[in-house]
Structure formats: structure tokens, C-alpha cells
Amino acid sequence: MKALLQIRTSQWWLLVQKMLGKRPSDKGQTSSELNLMRKQIDALDDQILQLLASRMTVAEQIGEYKKQQSILAHQPQRWAEVRAQRLEKARVLGLGENFMENFLELIHQESLQRQA
């Protein structure tokens, strides 16, 4: 009787997926539609990384200029303006406020480090 109640992990997982109304993938393989969407995410992530790298290069150039002109790296008024503008744009685009606040703060801190 105990042997009849035992199921393999793979069978259990399929059962859970059915109960949740999800289609199991064929033999652990993802569908071509899912693979296409994943490739789109990969390409978008690459673009984001390239843009961040470009942004940091410009931040370094700004840092050099500020050093030459004896300007402090952190400009609170400028940061407040930039932050407010970016948060408003993010809101319009449907991006989460907490996510964007954290994201912008991380970018700002990295920029300041590169300007120092």
C-alpha cells in the first residue's frame, strides 16, 4: 500500500502544475514562444547594461570637470530635480515607485563614487 502512495518528484511537480492550471513543458523543454521572450529579455538587459556603462563614463567626465572647476561632486539641488523628473517619468511608464527610488539611488551613488 505504501508503495502505491509514493510518487516521484517529477510526477509530483506535474500534479502541482495541473492543480495550478499550468501546462507542463515537454520533457523539461521550454516552448519556442517562451524562448523567444527570454531572448528579448536578454537583448533588453544587454541594452540596459550598455546604457549604464555609457552613463557612468559621462559621470566620470563630469567628475573630472567638477575637479578642475573646484565644484563639489554632490549637488543636492540638481539631484532633487533629476530624481523628481525620473520618478515622474517612471510613474507615467507604469514602473513601481519603490523600485525606481531604489534604482535611482543606486545609480546616483555609483555616479558619485566615480566622480570622486
Q: What are phi and psi of 103, to 5 degrees?
A: -60, -50
Q: What are phi and psi of 15, to 5 degrees?
A: -65, -45
Residue with cell 520533457: 27
pLDDT of residue 20: 75
pLDDT of residue 17: 72
Q: Which three cell numbers stand for residue 19?
A: 492543480
CATH homologous superfamily, domain 32-115? Chorismate mutase (1.20.59.10)
Q: Cα Rg for the chain, rounded, in angstroms?
A: 24
pTM above 0.75, yes or no: no
pLDDT tens, the chain, 116 aa long = 455 556 676 666 676 677 777 665 555 566 899 999 999 999 999 999 999 999 999 999 999 999 999 999 999 999 999 999 999 999 999 999 999 999 999 999 999 999 98
> Hey, what amino acid is at 47?
Q
